[in-house]
Structure 1
Amino acid sequence: MSADSSLTRNFCIIAHIDHGKSTLADRFIDMAHINFSRGPAQAQMLDNMDIERERGITIKSQAVTIPYTAKDGKVYQLNLVDTPGHVDFSYEVSRAISSCEGALLLIDATQGVEAQTLANLYMAMEHNLTIIPVINKVDLASADIEACLHQIDHDLGLDSSLAVQVSAKTGFGVDALFEAIVKQIQHPEGKDAFPLQALIFDSHYDAYRGVIVHCRVFDGVLKVGDEIQFMNTGGVYKVEEAGIFQLELIKTGELHAGDVGYVITGVKTISDVRVGDTITSTNRPAKKPLPGFMDVKPVVYSSIYPVDTNDYEELVSAIEKLKLNDASLIYEKDSSAALGFGFRCGFLGMLHLEVIQERIEREFDLSIVFTSPSVKYIVHLKNGETINIDNPLEYPDPMRVEYAEEPYIQANVITPTQYVGPIINLCMEKRGTQTGMNYLDEKRVELIYEMPLAEVLFEFYDRLKSISRGYASFDYQVIAYKRTDLVRLDILVNGEPVDALSQLVFRGNSQNRGRQVCERLRGEIPRQQYKIAIQAAIGGTIVSRETITAFRKDVTAKCYGGDISRKRKLLEKQKEGKKRMKMVGNVEIPQSAFLAVLKSDDDSK
Structure 2
Amino acid sequence: MAKPEYIRNFCIIAHIDHGKSTLADRLIQKAHLVTDRDFQDQILDNMDIERERGITIKSQAVCLPYIAKDGQEYELNLVDTPGHVDFTYEVSRAINSCEGALLLVDATQGVQAQTLSNMYLAMEHNLEIVPVINKIDMIAADIPATKQQIEHDLGLSAEDALLVSARQGTGVDELFEAIVERFPAPTGDPTAILQALIFDCHYDPYRGVVVHLRIFDGTIKRGMKIRFMHNNSEYEVENLGVFKLALVETDELSAGNVGYIIAGVKTVSDVRVGDTVTNAENPCEKPLPGFREIKPVVFSSIYPVDSNDYEELKTSLEKLKLNDASLIYEKDSSAALGFGFRCGFLGLLHLEVIQERLEREFDQSVIFTAPSVKYKVRLRGNPGHPAEELLVDNPTEYPDEGRIEGADEPYIRAAIITPTTYLGNIMTLCMDKRGVQTNMTYLDEKRVEMVYDMPLSEVLFDFYDRLKSISRGYASFDYDVTEYKPTELVKLDILLNGKGVDALSQLVFKGNAYDRAKIVCERLRDEITRQQFKIAIQGSIGSQIIARETVNALRKDVLAKCYGGDISRKRKLLEKQKEGKKRMKMVGDVELPQSAFLAVLKSKDE
Q: TM over 0.5, yes or no?
A: yes
Equivalent position of 1:329 in the other structure:
327
User: Does the aligned pair in 2 maintain the 1:299–1:349 contact within 8 Å?
Assistant: yes
Does residue 549 in structure 1 map to residue 549 in structure 2? no
Distance (whole Å) between structure 2 residues aligned to residue 286 and residue 321 of structure 1: 34
SS in 1 for 2:444: coil
Task: Name the CA shift for 1:554/1:46 in 2 (closer, same or farther; >3 Å).
Answer: closer
For residues 180-214 of structure 1, give each alpha carbon's deviation from its aligned partner in whole angstroms, at most 9, with x where no partner exists: 11111101111112211100000000111110000
SS at match of 2:605: coil
Question: How far is the alpha carbon of 1:233 from its aligned partner?
Answer: 1.5
SS at 1:289 equivalent:
coil
Q: Secondary structure at the match of 2:46?
A: coil
Give the CA deviation at 1:306: 1.5
* 2:406 is equivalent to residue 403 of structure 1: yes
Find 1:96's aligned residue among 90, 94, 97: 94
Could you tell me whether the CA contact under 8 Å between 1:9 and 1:76 is conserved in 2? yes
What are the residue-to-residue correspondences of 1:139-154 with 2, within 5 Å?
A: 139-154=137-152
The whole-number CA distance in structure 2 between the counterparts of 1:548 and 1:32 is: 65
Conserved 8 A contact 2:461-2:601: no
For 2:300 and 2:539, the matched residues in 1 are separated by 20
Q: How far apart, in 2, do the equivalents of 1:141 and 1:555 lie? A: 70
SS of structure 2 residue aligned to 1:527: coil
Q: Please report how far the alpha carbon of residue 304 of structure 1 lies from its aligned counterpart in structure 2 after TM superposition.
A: 1.1
User: Who is 1:276 aligned against?
Assistant: 274
The 1-side partners of 2:534 and 2:52 are apart by 46
CA distance in 2, matches of 1:550, 1:56: 47
State how far apart, in whole Å, the 2-side matches of 1:36 and 1:579 are.
Answer: 74
Whole-angstrom distance in 1 between the partners of 2:64 and 2:555: 75
Counterpart of 2:6 in structure 1 is: 7
Matched position secondary structure for 1:47: coil
- Written as runs of structure 1 = structure 2, the 5 A alignment for 1:135-214 is 135-214=133-212
- What is the alpha-carbon distance in structure 1 between the residues aligned to residue 179 and residue 577 of structure 2? 84
Q: Do the aligned residues in 1 keep the contact of 2:215 with 2:257 (CA within 8 Å)?
A: yes
Distance in 2, Cα, partners of 1:571 & 1:507: 45
Partner of 1:31: 30
Which residue is 2:503 aligned to? Answer: 500
Letter in 2 for 1:25: A
Q: What residue number does 2:516 align with?
A: 513
Q: Quote the offset at 1:548 in angstroms.
A: 1.2
Q: Structure 2: how far apart are the matches of 1:589 and 1:21?
A: 44
Q: Write the distance in 1 (CA, Å) between the matches of 2:601 and 2:85.
A: 23
Map 1:453-472 → 2, pairs under 5 A? 453-472=456-475
What residue in structure 2 maps to residue 108 of structure 1? 106
1:58-97 residue CA offsets vs partner (Å, 9 max, x unmatched): 0000000111111111111111000000000000000000
Amino acid at match of 1:80: L
| CA displacement 1:465-523 (0-9 Å, x = unmatched) | 11001100000010001111011100000111011100110010000110111111111
Q: Which amino acid aligns with 2:23?
A: L
Instruction: Indicate how the Cα distance of structure 1 residues 42 and 559 shifts in structure 2: closer, same or farther if over 3 A, else same.
Output: closer
What's the secondary structure of 2:186's corresponding residue?
coil
How far did 1:13 drift? Answer: 0.2
Does structure 2 retain, via aligned residues, the 8 Å contact 1:433–1:449?
yes
Paired AA for residue 405 in structure 2: E
Match of 1:431 among 426, 429, 434: 434
1:323, CA displacement in angstroms?
0.7
Say if 1:559 and 1:567, in contact at 8 Å, map to a contact too: no
Does structure 1 residue 267 correspond to structure 2 residue 255?
no
2:317 to 297, 316, 319: 319
* Secondary structure class of the residue paired with 1:477: strand
CA distance in 1, matches of 2:578, 2:262: 74
Match of 2:578 in 1: 575
Identity of aligned residues (%): 69
* Structure 1 Cα separation of the partners of residues 73 and 542 of structure 2: 71
Shift of 1:556: 6.3
Counterpart Cα distance in 2 of 1:463 and 1:525: 27
Q: State the 1:338 CA deviation.
A: 1.2
Looking at structure 2, the residues matched to 286 and 36 of structure 1 have their Cα atoms a distance apart, in angstroms, of 42
Q: Which runs of 5+ in 1 are unaligned?
A: none
Q: Are 2:487 and 1:484 aligned?
A: yes
The Cα shift of 1:225 comes to 1.3
Q: Deviations over 1:146-168 (max 9, x none)?
A: 01110111110001111000011
Letter in 2 for 1:506: F
Contact kept, 8 Å, 2:240 with 2:261, in 1: the verdict is yes
Q: Which amino acid aligns with 1:22?
A: S
Task: Give the drift of 1:40.
Answer: 1.0
Distance 2:234 2:38 in 1: 40
Superposition pairs of residues 21-60 of structure 1, within 5 angstroms = 21-35=20-34, 40-60=38-58
- The Cα RMSD (Å) is 1.5
- The separation in 2 between residues aligned to 1:253 and 1:455, in whole angstroms, is 52
Higher alpha-carbon deviation: 150-159 or 334-343: 334-343
Equivalent-residue separation in structure 2 for 1:336 and 1:410 (angstroms): 34
How much has 1:34 moved relative to structure 2? Answer: 1.3
Contact 2:197–2:213 (Cα < 8 Å) also in 1: yes
Query: Paired residue for 1:252?
Result: 250
AA partner of residue 32 (structure 1): A
| Residue 287 of structure 1: how far off its partner (Å) | 1.0
Structure 2 partner of 1:377: 375
Instruction: Give the counterpart letter for 1:431 in structure 2.
Output: R
Task: Please list the CA deviations of residues 280-322 of structure 1 after superposition, one character each: whole Å capped at 9, or x if unmatched.
Answer: 1122211110000000011111111111223222212211111
1:109 and 1:89 map into 2 onto residues whose CA distance is 25
Cα distance in 2 for residues equivalent to 1:602 and 1:217: 50
| Distance in 2 separating the partners of 1:10 and 1:407 | 37
Deviation at 1:602, TM superposition (A): 2.4
Q: Distance in 2 between matches of 1:208 and 1:267?
A: 12
**Following TM superposition, by how much is the alpha carbon of 1:232 offset from its aligned partner in structure 2, in angstroms?**
1.2
Deviations 1:246-269 (A, max 9, x none): 001111121110100001110001
Equivalent-residue separation in structure 2 for 1:493 and 1:25 (angstroms): 54
* Residue of structure 2 aligned with 1:240, choices 238, 241, 252: 238
Taking the aligned partners of 2:594 and 2:198, their CA distance within structure 1 comes to 43
Partner of residue 539, structure 1? 542
Unaligned runs of 5+ in 2: 382-386
Q: Separation in 2 of the partners of 1:348 and 1:184?
A: 35
Amino acid at match of 2:340: G
Stretch deviating more after TM superposition (333-342 or 205-214): 333-342
CA distance in 2, matches of 1:25, 1:562: 86
Q: CA deviation at 1:139?
A: 1.0
Q: 1:320-399, aligned counterparts within 5 Å?
A: 320-383=318-381, 384-399=387-402
Equivalent in the alignment of 2:384: none
SS of residue matched to 2:77: strand
Name 2:60's counterpart in structure 1: 62
Q: Offset at 1:36?
A: 5.8
Distance apart, 1:573 and its partner CA: 4.1
- Counterpart CA distance in 2 for 1:362 and 1:243 is 32
Q: 2:601 matched to which residue of 1?
A: 598
Deviations 1:420-442 (A, max 9, x none): 10000000000000000000001
1:475 lines up with 2:478 in the alignment: yes
Partners of 2:243 and 2:397 in 1: CA distance: 46
Q: Secondary structure at the match of 1:133?
A: strand
Q: What count of residue pairs does the alignment treat as equivalent?
A: 600
After TM superposition, the runs of 4+ consecutive aligned structure 1 residues lying more than 3 A away are 553-563, 565-574
Q: TM-score, normalised by structure 2?
A: 0.97
> Which residue of structure 2 lines up, in the alignment, with residue 446 of structure 1?
449
Q: Which moved more, 1:27-36 or 1:7-16?
A: 27-36
